[in-house]
Amino acid sequence: MSSVLIVEDDLDIRDLTVFRLEQAGHDVRTAGDGMEALTELEANRPDIVILDWMMPGLSGPEVCRRLREMPGMEGVVVLMLTSKAQEGDVEEGFRAGADDYMVKPFSPRELAVRVEALLSRARP
What pLDDT sits at residue 1?
A: 82
pTM of the model: 0.96
Geometric angle at alpha carbon 85, from 3 and 69, rounded to 5°: 45
Q: Is 41 helix (H, G, I), strand (E, B) or coil?
A: helix
- Residue 123: pLDDT band with limits 50, 70, 90: confident
Measured CA to CA, the distance from residue 57 to residue 89 in angstroms comes to: 18
Q: How far apart are CA 101 and CA 58, in angstroms?
A: 18
pLDDT tens digits, residue range 22-43? 999 999 999 999 999 999 999 9
Quick: pLDDT tens for 80-122.
999 999 999 999 999 999 999 999 999 999 999 999 999 999 8
pLDDT at 124 over 90: no
Q: Which amino acid is at 26?
A: H
Q: pLDDT for 43-80, tens place per residue?
A: 999 999 999 999 998 999 999 999 999 999 999 999 99
Using alpha carbons only, give the angle 79, 86, 88 rounded to the nearest 5 degrees: 85
Q: What mean pLDDT, rounded, does the chain reach?
A: 96
The secondary structure of residue 99, as a DSSP letter, is S
